[in-house]
Structure 1
Amino acid sequence: MSYAKTAMLLALLTAIFVAIGGLAGGQTGMVIAFVIALGMNAFSLWRSDKMVLRMHEAEEVDERSAPEYYNLVRELAARAELPMPKVYVLHNPQPNAFATGRNPQNAAVAATTGLLETLSHEEVAGVMAHELAHIKNRDTLIMTIAATIGGAISMLAQWLQFHALFGGNRNNSGGAGILATLAAIILAPMAAMLVQMAISRSREYQADRLGAHICGNPLWLSSALYKIAGMAQRIENPSAEAAPATAHIFIINPLSGRGIDNFFSTHPNTENRVAELEALAREMGVTSYRSAPTPTASPSAGPWSGGAPSGGRGPWG
């Protein structure tokens, strides 16, 4: 159902693009806008992992610098039948995490120090399983396709605005044409944005479900989501505030402290996600937080503490 919904939303986004392209009055202009938007997003997709990780000043860790955290990701990746992704830590007090990369062979997962220091081992496992689910589902590719079409729509709307400002509608017959142009300039980009957000929300539900199967217990992820959502309201994420366009890649909206309305959110309501996970737990016969075997590593120590310097706060000092 989630894949069908995503396909329908992509089809709707394409329909908006075709409609505004036709209104722009030229197949040539539509093709040029699409090619430019495609080129920009193709470059972003090819370099997305490095660009995003650089924006958030992520530090790569390995088996020596963060053995328990790294080994947890490796075990979960094996369960998901995925290549081992690169593993990063973000020096950020807000608990959060994301995945990036154009395909499973060129993927990376990242967790903030806030997440590693405040969540239990099982909750971290649930979060990282969710991020690996995004990689397995190729959600980065899906969102890039959506961004490509959305970018083309925005470019066509800007062209229409420029055309209207400089007298391109002087020969337009009647007010209906003017109203249609104004509607395209104002409403089409907004509609495209809302459809992109809906696609993102749909992929989050799917990643929750698959991630729960990867880690073995949906309640680990539901508990983590509650904690992250509550703390994200109180703890600012400076790097996300500086690059709000990356907000959709995080497991919980990192900008939620700014009170973004749910209608414009790239993430589903946390209570709805938790309800879905609790229903899945009943389907799987999971009756408690301890119903599934804990992935390798001591829960009391946490998946990040091994190999820490004597100062004591993990591989980030």
Structure 2
Amino acid sequence: MSRTRFAPDRGLSARMTVTIFLLGLLYVAFMAILIAVGVQAVTVLVIAAGLLLVQYFFSDKIALFAMHGREVSPEEAPELHGIIDRLSAMADMPKPRVAIADSDMPNAFATGRNQKNAVVCVTTGIMRRLDASELEGVLAHEMSHVAHRDVAVMTIASFLGIVAGLMTRFALYTGLGGRRDSNNGPPIGLIIFLVSALVYAVSFLLTRALSRYRELAADRAGALLTQRPSALASALVKVSGDIARIPTSDLRQAQPFNAFYFTPALSGQSVASLFSTHPSLERRLDQLAKISATLGR
């Protein structure tokens, strides 16, 4: 984590390290199995590495394009820039670029591989629903993601899942599914498919667990920076409640971007916590209540 005044989170750092280490072990084992069954994985690795580099270096542009966000000047959004200016000064970090997405979905996100390339984006829906202190709490949460370099870490963590998915397609498209080894053993493609599916499932669960903790860490760091955990809690309640009233079709379109958002777009159906990108609203509010009690507010 770069030096800022955001509260350090050793738990987050430890979880990031452990997750990357476990994913690295999984990657080595995956490659060893593929080599053992005689698969030439160079092409897949080159493609996966290329996708990773594109995602890493252009994550800010990709996210803004996908979510229809546009950068705005201080003249276009003076209040929003004012909050970002204040938070940047409080956190002693470079000011990120500021963007707005024209969407009624009340949400916000931050992206960019480091502080110098970061962008914080809010939707018109969240700006309309929250007051200044609540919006400041949300933006402090998003800027803590930038300070902790969450985007870079999650991009790297997703690499193994990309490789596993590409290997599965490689086996299907090249006809390995029906090809047997020299000893008339099981089809090579079947082995690749099963191993890839297992690797993808494990990497998926590891990255989702890390994603949930980083959201709690961002809540904590943002609340401690502003010293107003109640404002962030109020924003969470408002945003979560209003999202439940968004049309289902709009929610489904937004769900692929849940990992980026301040709070996930859910269609009202229960989602197993094991597969969620975010902790439950109750857990987030409970943490903020404890912080508020500690601060005496």
TM-score by length of 2: 0.85
2:3 corresponds to: none
Offset, 1:249: 0.5
Contact 1:94 1:114 in 2 (8 A): yes
1:78 corresponds to: 89
1:125 corresponds to: 136
Identity across matched positions, percent? 33
Offset, 1:143: 0.8
- Written as runs of structure 1 = structure 2, the 5 A alignment for 1:270-281 is 270-281=281-292
Offset, 1:247: 1.9
- 5+ residue gaps, structure 2: 1-10
- Paired with 2:219 and 2:275, the residues of 1 have a C-alpha distance of 20
**Residues 101/120 of structure 1: CA separation in 2 closer, same or farther (3 Å cut):** same
- Paired with 1:41 and 1:5, the residues of 2 have a C-alpha distance of 21
In the alignment, does 2:30 pair up with 1:20?
A: yes
Q: Provide, for residues 138-176 of structure 1, a one-character-per-residue CA deviation record: whole Å limited to 9, x for no partner.
A: 11100110122221222234445567844333446767x
In the alignment, does 2:246 pair up with 1:235?
A: yes
1:44 corresponds to: 55
**Residues 70/138 of structure 1: CA separation in 2 closer, same or farther (3 Å cut):** same
Number of equivalenced pairs: 286
Given candidates 19, 29, 33, the residue that maps to 1:9 is 19
Given candidates 107, 112, 124, the residue that maps to 1:96 is 107
Offset, 1:99: 0.5
User: Quick one: which amino acid aligns to residue 148 of structure 2?
Assistant: N
2:126 corresponds to: 115
2:4 corresponds to: none
Offset, 1:45: 1.9
2:237 corresponds to: 226
In the alignment, does 2:296 pair up with 1:286?
A: yes
- 5+ residue gaps, structure 1: 288-317
Offset, 1:36: 2.3
- Paired with 1:206 and 1:139, the residues of 2 have a C-alpha distance of 10
In the alignment, does 2:219 pair up with 1:208?
A: yes
2:8 corresponds to: none
TM-score by length of 1: 0.80
- Paired with 2:237 and 2:215, the residues of 1 have a C-alpha distance of 15
In the alignment, does 2:132 pair up with 1:144?
A: no
Offset, 1:124: 0.6
User: Quick one: which amino acid aligns to residue 122 of structure 2?
Assistant: A
- Paired with 1:256 and 1:6, the residues of 2 have a C-alpha distance of 29
2:6 corresponds to: none
- Paired with 1:125 and 1:90, the residues of 2 have a C-alpha distance of 17
**Residues 182/130 of structure 1: CA separation in 2 closer, same or farther (3 Å cut):** same
**Residues 31/200 of structure 1: CA separation in 2 closer, same or farther (3 Å cut):** farther
1:189 corresponds to: 200
